Chains A and B, each alone.
Chain A
Amino acid sequence: DGGITQSPKYLFRKEGQNVTLSCEQNLNHDAMYWYRQDPGQGLRLIYYSQIVNDFQKGDIAEGYSVSREKKESFPLTVTSAQKNPTAFYLCASTRRGGGWNEKLFFGSGTQLSVL
């Protein structure tokens, strides 16, 4: 079955530590996205990539980094510069690059907490 796989489901970060959230899709979609969701808030865009080897900052990119070396993979690194990383992180994809009018397919999410 095609879909988006996020791992791990739960992740704990120690102060000063960088952690990487994995996102893999087998939908052959061009565009991939990372969103952050805090309790009682909507999804906020961290980074997005419309094509391999290219990505753009979203609204809250500070303290995060990404790479897009393969079409299938879009890992997100939460760096030590992100002072309040506790949140639910969602990876998503759309069929076409620039496909903001298209249906977003979501992964199952990663809950990141600070120890």
Chain B
Amino acid sequence: QKEVEQNSGPLSVPEGAIASLNCTYSDRGSQSFFWYRQYSGKSPELIMSIYSNGDKEDGRFTAQLNKASQYVSLLIRDSQPSDSATYLCAVNGEYGNKLVFGAGTILRVKS
């Protein structure tokens, strides 16, 4: 059974701080990794994708991937109250057969 694990939170950070969200996965052959943001009652929206080891930056967001440790993270710099949401980690298997989602981490940014 392929699994994607996330700390459910809530993770509380002050406005302007760095929020660090973590995700581990069980399928060592996983190739593609995604972070989705979901506001309460809304559908998820893709904010980052990463496919190779290392860091990928896009604006205030940085995704980090370590395949050896089966670990992917999302850093949000200069956190804003509008970043308060649930962040879902999704992982694609070795054969690209489907996405597996984690349960999500609730992030609260306090002004």
Number of interface residues of B (CB under 8 A): 25
**Cα distance, A98 to B97, chains bound together (Å):** 7
Q: Which of chain A's residues have a CB closer than 8 A to the CB of B96?
A: 98, 100-101
Q: Is the CB of A100 within 8 A of B97?
A: yes
| CB within 8 Å of B: which A61-115 residues | 90, 98, 100-101, 103-104, 106-109, 111
Nearest-CB residue, chain B, relative to A6: B43
- The number of A-B residue pairs with CB atoms under 8 Å apart is 50
Assign chain A's interface to a size class.
Answer: 10 to 19
| CB within 8 Å of A: which B96-111 residues | 96-104
Q: Is the CB of A42 within 8 A of B32?
A: no
> Nearest chain A CB to B76's CB is how many angstroms away?
20
Q: If A58-B98, A98-B96, A100-B92 touch, does A41 touch B42 (CB 8 Å cutoff)?
A: no
B45 at the interface (CB under 8 A from A): yes
Residue positions of A touching B, CB distance < 8 A = 40-45, 48, 58, 90, 98, 100-101, 103-104, 106-109, 111
